C-alpha cells in the first residue's frame, strides 16, 4: 500500500511516500529554521504562512523523487495534532482536499504516534511490546508500546521538554533556535564535569521527568560568569548535555527493568544527539536490553513517520472525514500524549 504522508505541525513542512509502513520511497523536509532563528523560537503566524508556500512544492517533490504520480497513491496520512493550530490546519486541509479530489481514504495521525513509528522505518524494528522514550522540542514521555495502535503512557515531563531545555540554554548563550545541534557541537569540545548540574530523578520509583532545574542552573552560571562566558561555553554545553543524558538513560533503564522488557526505543528530535545515542547503547549492553534508534534524519519531524503510523491506523479501520478537525494538545488514540491541555507550544517565541 502506497501512502503519501504530510506533516506540518510545527516548523517543518514535510511530505513522504512510504510502502506498507516500512519502505521509504521518498522523504522531503522543508525546514523553516532560517525564518525563526532570530526570534529564538517559532513564530506561529510566520510558520503557517511558510507552510502555505511549501506544502505543494514539497508534496510534488516527494512524488517526483518516488517516481510516482498522484494517481498512484492509495491513501493519505496527515498529522492531526498535537502542534500549532495554524500550522496543522495547512497540512490537514491540504490532505483532506487532495484525498477528496483523488477519491482515496485519508487518516489524521497523532504526531507522537508518528515519532514512535520512525522506529519501523529502519531495517530491524523491535517486536512488541517495547519501552519507548520520546524526547522532542514539545514532549518528553515514556511509553509501554504494545501494538501499532496501543501505547500506555508511563511518565511525562512535569515542566520543560528535553529538546526545549536544549533550545532555552542555547538561547541564553546567544546561539539562536533551535539549540540541540549547536549545544551538542559545543559540548564535544567541553568538559562535562567542570560545572555541576543538578539531575532531577524526581521520585526514584516514578517515570516523570523535570528539566527546569538544569536550565536554571545554566542561567545562574551564565549570569555569574559573564566575564568569561566565551571560554566557559563548551563546558556549560557539555555539563548540561550530560545531565540531560543521565536522566534520560536512567529512566529508560529503570522502565525496562520495571516492566521486565528487554526491548527499548528512543525517538524524537533529541534522539539525534550523538552522546545520548552512545550512552544508551552502552546502557543497553550493560543492563541487558536492546536499544533501537531511528537513523538520525528520521529523529526530527518528517512525513515518513506519519505515513508509517497512518498505514497501521488505516489497517485498523481508522478514517478521517469532512468534519474531522486538528487539535493542539490531546492524548492520542493509542495513549501517547501529554496529560495537560496547555494550548501553547513550548518552542514558540516568547
Ligand atoms: O521532533 P522534533 O524535530 O520536533 C518536535 O516535535 O518538537 O524535535 C526538535 C527538538 C528541538 O528542541 C531540538 O533542539 C532538538 O530536538 N534536537 C536536539 C538535537 N537535534 C535536535 N537535541 C539534542 N541534541 C541534538 N543533536
Ligand atoms: Zn516532533
Determine which residue's CA is closest to atom 22 belonging to ligand 1.
Answer: 180
Q: Is the peptide bond before 178 cis (omega within 30 degrees of 0)?
A: yes
Write down the pLDDT at residue 37. 85
Tell whether ligand 1 has an atom less than 6 A from the beta carbon of residue 269.
yes
Mean pLDDT for the chain?
A: 93
What are 272-317's pLDDT values in tens digits?
Answer: 999 999 999 999 999 999 999 999 999 999 999 999 999 999 999 9
Tell whether ligand 1 has an atom less than 6 A from the beta carbon of residue 181.
yes
Determine which residue's CA is closest to atom 18 belonging to ligand 1.
Answer: 180
Write down the pLDDT at residue 336. 54
Instruction: Answer yes or no: is pLDDT of 118 > 80.
Output: yes
For residue 232, the CA-to-ligand 2 centroid distance in Å is 31
Which ligand 1 atom sits closest to the C-alpha of 268?
1
The answer to whether 2-116+299-315 and 127-293 have equal CATH topology is: yes
* Residue closest to 316 by CA, chosen among 105, 145, 115, 112: 105
Closest ligand to residue 171's CA: 1
Burial class (CB in 10 A: 0-12, 13-18, 19+), 129: middle
Tell whether ligand 1 has an atom less than 6 A from the beta carbon of residue 7.
no
- Rounded distance, CA 154 to CA 135, Å? 14
Indicate the pLDDT class of residue 333, thresholds 50, 70 and 90.
Answer: very low
Which ligand 1 atom sits closest to the C-alpha of 299?
1
What are 204-255's pLDDT values in tens digits?
Answer: 668 999 999 999 999 999 999 999 999 999 999 999 999 999 999 999 999 9
Indicate the domain borders of the chain. Answer: 2-116+299-315, 127-293
With the most atoms of ligand 1 within 8 angstroms of its CB, the residue from 161, 163, 169 to mutate is 163
- Rounded distance, CA 133 to CA 115, Å? 10
* Domain 2-116+299-315, architecture per CATH: 2-Layer Sandwich (3.30)
The answer to whether 217 and 265 are in contact (CB under 8 A) is: no
| DSSP symbol at 129 | S
The answer to whether 301 and 9 are in contact (CB under 8 A) is: yes
Find the DSSP H helices in 191-328. 212-224, 229-258, 274-287, 304-315
Indicate the pLDDT class of residue 339, thresholds 50, 70 and 90.
Answer: very low
- Rounded distance, CA 286 to CA 268, Å? 24
- Rounded distance, CA 106 to CA 111, Å? 15
For 127-293, which CATH class?
alpha beta
Tell whether ligand 1 has an atom less than 6 A from the beta carbon of residue 273.
yes
The answer to whether 17 and 25 are in contact (CB under 8 A) is: yes
With the most atoms of ligand 1 within 8 angstroms of its CB, the residue from 186, 269, 332 to mutate is 269
What does the pLDDT average to over 148-157? 95
Tell whether ligand 1 has an atom less than 6 A from the beta carbon of residue 137.
yes
Q: What is the pTM of this model?
A: 0.94
Tell whether ligand 1 has an atom less than 6 A from the beta carbon of residue 179.
yes
Cell numbers for 335: 495513549
Write down the pLDDT at residue 213. 95
The answer to whether 160 and 211 are in contact (CB under 8 A) is: yes
Mention every residue, 6+ apart, whose C-beta is less than 8 A from residue 321.
none
Q: What does residue 200 show for φ and ψ, rounded to 5 degrees? A: -100, 100
- Rounded distance, CA 228 to CA 252, Å? 36
Indicate the pLDDT class of residue 158, thresholds 50, 70 and 90.
Answer: very high
Instruction: Answer yes or no: is pLDDT of 347 > 90.
Output: no
Pairing of β 75-81 and β 140-147: unpaired
Ion ligand 2: residue ranges with CB closer than 5 A: 136, 301
What are 125-136's pLDDT values in tens digits?
Answer: 999 999 999 999
Percentage of the chain beyond pLDDT 90 is 88
Write down the pLDDT at residue 338. 46
CA distances (Å), 301 to each of 223, 253, 259, 273, in order? Answer: 33, 25, 29, 14
Instruction: Output b/e per residue, 296-331; b: 16+ Cβ within 10 A.
Output: eebbbbbbbbbbbbbbbbbeeebebeeeeebbbbeb
Indicate the pLDDT class of residue 343, thresholds 50, 70 and 90.
Answer: very low
Write down the pLDDT at residue 348. 59
Neighbours of 137 (CB within 10 A): 29
> Which has more confidence, 344 or 298?
298
Write down the pLDDT at residue 334. 52
Determine which residue's CA is closest to atom 19 belonging to ligand 1.
Answer: 180
For residue 116, the CA-to-ligand 1 centroid distance in Å is 15
Sign of CA dihedral 206, 114, 319, 148: negative
Instruction: Answer yes or no: is pLDDT of 341 > 60.
Output: no
What are 160-196's pLDDT values in tens digits?
Answer: 999 999 999 999 999 988 999 999 999 999 999 999 9
Amino acid at each position: 500500500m502506497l501512502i503519501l504522508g504530510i506533516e506540518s505541525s510545527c516548523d517543518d513542512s514535510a511530505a513522504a511516500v512510504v510502502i506498507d509502513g516500512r519502505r521509504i520511497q521518498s522523504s522531503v523536509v522543508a525546514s523553516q529554521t532560517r525564518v525563526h532563528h532570530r526570534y529564538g523560537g517559532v513564530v506561529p503566524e510566520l510558520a503557517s504562512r511558510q507552510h502555505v508556500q511549501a506544502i505543494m512544492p514539497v508534496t510534488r517533490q516527494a512524488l517526483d523523487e518516488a517516481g510516482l504520480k498522484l494517481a498512484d497513491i492509495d491513501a493519505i496520512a496527515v498529522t492531526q495534532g498535537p502542534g500549532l493550530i495554524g500550522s496543522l490546519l495547512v497540512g490537514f486541509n491540504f490532505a483532506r482536499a487532495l484525498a477528496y479530489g483523488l477519491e482515496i481514504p485519508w487518516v489524521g495521525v497523532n504526531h507522537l504516534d508518528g515519532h514512535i513509528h520512525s522506529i519501523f522505518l529502519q531495517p530491524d524494528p523491535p517486536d512488541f511490546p517495547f519501552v519507548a522514550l520520546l524526547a522532542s522540542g514539545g514532549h518528553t514521555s515514556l511509553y509501554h508500546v504494545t501494538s501499532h495502535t496501543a501505547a500506555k503512557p508511563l511518565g511525562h515531563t512535569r515542566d520543560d521538554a528535553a529538546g526545549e531545555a536544549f533550545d532555552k540554554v542555547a538561547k541564553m548563550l546567544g546561539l539562536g533556535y533551535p539549540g540541540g545541534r549547536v549545544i551538542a557541537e559545543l559540548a564535544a569540545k567541553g568538559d562535562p564535569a567542570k560545572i555541576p548540574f543538578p539531575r532531577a530523578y524526581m521520585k526514584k520509583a516514578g517515570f516523570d521527568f523535570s528539566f527546569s532545574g538544569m536550565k536554571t542552573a545554566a542561567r545562574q552560571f551564565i549570569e555569574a560568569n559573564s566575564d568569561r562566558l566565551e571560554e566557559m561555553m563548551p563546558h556549560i554545553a557539555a555539563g548540561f548535555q550530560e545531565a540531560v543524558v543521565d536522566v534520560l538513560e536512567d529512566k529508560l533503564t529503570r522502565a525496562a527493568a520495571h516492566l521486565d522488557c528487554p526491548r527499548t526505543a528512543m525517538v524524537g528530535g533529541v534522539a539525534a544527539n550523538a552522546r545520548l545515542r552512545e550512552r544508551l547503547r552502552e546502557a543497553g549492553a550493560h543492563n541487558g536490553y536492546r536499544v533501537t534508534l531511528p537513523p538520525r534524519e528520521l529523529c526530527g519531524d518528517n512525513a515518513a513517520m506519519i505515513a508509517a503510523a497512518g498505514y497501521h491506523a488505516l489497517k485498523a479501520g481508522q478514517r478521517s472525514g469532512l468534519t474531522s478537525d486538528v487539535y493542539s494538545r490531546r492524548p492520542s488514540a493509542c495513549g501517547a500524549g501529554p496529560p495537560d491541555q496547555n494550548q501553547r507550544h513550548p518552542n514558540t517565541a516568547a
